[in-house]
Amino acid sequence: MNPSQRIFSVLLFLITSVLAACQKNAPPFLSQYEKIDILVQNAMVLDGLGTPARQADVAIVDDKIVFVGKAVFSGDDKINRIIKLIDATGLFLTPGFIDLHSHGDPLKTPEFENFLAMGVTTISLGQDGTSPDIAPLSDWLDEVKIRGIGPNLVMFVGHGTLREQSGIGQAAPASPEGLARMLSSLDETLEYTFGLSTGLEYNPGLYADRNELIALAQVVGKNDRLIMSHMRNEDDDKLEASIAELVAQGEFTRVHIAHLKSVFGKGKQRADEIIQLIIDARARGVEISADSYPYNASYTGISIVFPVWSKTQEQFDLVKTLRREELAEYLRNRVQRRNGPQATLLGSGEFTGKTLADVALEMEMPFEDVLIDIIGPQGANGAYFVMNEQLQSRILQSELVGVSSDGRIDGFHPRGHGTFAKIIEKYVVQENLLTLSEAVRKMTSLPAEILHISDRGIIREGLVADIVLFDPEKVHASATYPDPLQLAEGFHTVIVNGKIARFENRNAQELHGRVLQP
Ligand SMILES: [Zn+2]
């Protein structure tokens, strides 16, 4: 060995010894934690903010995301400290989806498998002016906490429910005493709920006048909460007025248009006009946003086609004989205008799965007589094919519009089981109307921002681990109008509060959701 060879071998020895020592003394991965509950490896991470995906590993400890990046760990770490290792090669990892408008009773169906199966980790209940008729509402929420719930719950208090509880009922206008009672109970309930929902197309919300709506908005604004509104009228020629009414409340608080749609409006240009109303209001400083679902049929009680003066059973019983001709004419015109009786698919009661046209044919009577003599305003729910595909798709594409299902586990409409899967399957994969990162933003960080949820909806160290893993090509909304209760498929893993809530199309035994605090 000549001197240079000797120096070389000494150097080589030194380098290998130092490297070995380094490896031995390298601190374990995330050494500050005794254990890593879940490590997801090699995922394509979409943070929820609309930024492009990047390959990364994500570590979860307890209910938090503690690491996003390239995890370097030794075999010892893996054996001793990493409790669950998920190989996410070929999968996207995104925040769990947040449904801005959902329905259901967690005391009856706490698992909410329909929502978890489509990647939804947070639902929003108490919508359209109706929350559980329990005062204080905190008693009901306590019950939900005790029973447990699959996804997280964002709760709203319903204006219609408060109106009933305050003794105002269907009075118009509300008496000063009734109004005062309602406002004070709203004020108390907003302490632990995310806001007020209104259903101005429903009883008794429709009796609220401008004064009442402004008074409500002032209380909501004082509490820094949101008004989530099923607006007064979604008919195309009434949308301007309906949005203006909500914007007036928006002078005092944050406001939000639930399930933005145009009933019998058509075309992209009309969609742009509607979105422009929101843009204009925002330019004036009003904090207004909206959500929408990816279907062209709405779903609600059949009373939606009845006139204001015959929506309740009492009103209906009264006018059924007294104003029968007038009622029949109203129903005839209204249903025809809503694309006719063949566009009304009954979803509850004995005629489930049949259209109003089918029933009329079967009974050999005009459809308006079926509505009056057989069904009545409280007699059924229905899906109504009243929307235009181009218009609704355009609305969904707007960056101001988040995604909602407006669905329920037992509703005879595919949106309750399909919405979030359909956004990915149809809007992203099949039709390229949205990029995956934009679609995910609309289902995660945007709703979190609208609801003022600051610790979820984004993949970031320190935030709560509500996470979904999926291959977009495999996501499938199985629910259809004839068969609406089919669970969505293709979501590999759904994590709620750091726990695996659903894996390979099966729910976990335990319920991992929480009642969220505003
Ligand atoms: Zn609604």
At residue 24, the pLDDT reads 54
List helix spans (H) across 52-171.
Answer: 75-80, 113-116, 137-147, 159-165
Ligand 1 centroid – CA 489 distance (Å): 26
Ligand 1 centroid – CA 260 distance (Å): 9
- Phi, then psi, of 212 in degrees rounded to 5: -65, -45
At residue 482, the pLDDT reads 85
Ligand 1 centroid – CA 230 distance (Å): 5
At residue 8, the pLDDT reads 61
Q: Where are the beta strands (DSSP E) in 263-398?
A: 288-292, 298-301, 344-346, 381-384
Ligand 1 centroid – CA 225 distance (Å): 19
Ligand 1 centroid – CA 255 distance (Å): 15
3-state helix, strand, coil in the chain (%, to 5): 40, 20, 40
Return the closest-CA partner of residue 382 out of 420, 323, 339.
339
Ligand 1 centroid – CA 298 distance (Å): 9
Q: How many whole angstroms separate alpha carbon 409 and alpha carbon 418?
A: 11
Distance between first and last Cα of the chain:
75
Ligand 1 centroid – CA 200 distance (Å): 9
Q: How many whole angstroms separate alpha carbon 57 and alpha carbon 419?
A: 28
Ligand 1 centroid – CA 13 distance (Å): 74
Q: How many whole angstroms separate alpha carbon 44 and alpha carbon 193?
A: 35
Ligand 1 centroid – CA 128 distance (Å): 5
Return the closest-CA partner of residue 61 out of 32, 86, 41, 88.
32
Ligand 1 centroid – CA 2 distance (Å): 88
Instruction: Give per-residue pLDDT as tens, 27-67.
Output: 889 999 999 999 999 999 999 999 999 999 999 999 999 99
Ligand 1 centroid – CA 129 distance (Å): 9
Ligand 1 centroid – CA 39 distance (Å): 40
Tokens at 488, concatenated: 């969505």
Ligand 1 centroid – CA 69 distance (Å): 41
Ligand 1 centroid – CA 291 distance (Å): 11
Q: Which structural domains are found in the chain, ordered by start?
A: 128-257 (3.20.20.140), 300-384 (no CATH)
Q: Please, which residues have CB less than 5 A from ligand 1, an ion? A: 128, 230
Tokens at 270, concatenated: 């009309």
DSSP class of 90: T
Return the closest-CA partner of residue 391 out of 259, 236, 266.
266
Q: How many whole angstroms separate alpha carbon 410 and alpha carbon 49?
A: 32
Ligand 1 centroid – CA 301 distance (Å): 10
DSSP class of 27: P
Q: What is the enclosing helix (H) or strand (E) of 39?
A: strand 36-45
pTM exceeds 0.95, yes or no: no
The tens-digit pLDDT sequence of the chain (518 residues) is 566 666 666 555 555 555 554 455 668 899 999 999 999 999 999 999 999 999 999 999 999 999 999 999 888 888 889 999 999 999 999 999 999 999 999 999 999 999 999 999 999 999 999 999 999 999 999 999 999 999 999 999 999 999 999 999 999 999 999 999 999 999 999 999 999 999 999 999 999 999 999 999 999 999 999 999 999 999 999 999 999 999 999 999 999 999 999 998 999 999 999 999 999 999 999 999 999 999 999 998 999 999 999 999 999 999 999 999 999 999 999 999 999 999 999 998 899 999 999 999 999 999 999 999 999 999 999 999 999 999 999 999 999 999 999 999 998 899 999 999 999 999 999 999 999 999 999 999 999 999 999 999 999 999 999 999 999 999 999 999 889 999 999 999 999 999 999 998 899 999 999 999 99
Enumerate helices (H) and strands (E) in the chain, giving the number of each.
Answer: 17, 20
Ligand 1 centroid – CA 402 distance (Å): 15
Strand partners, 124: 154
Ligand 1 centroid – CA 277 distance (Å): 20
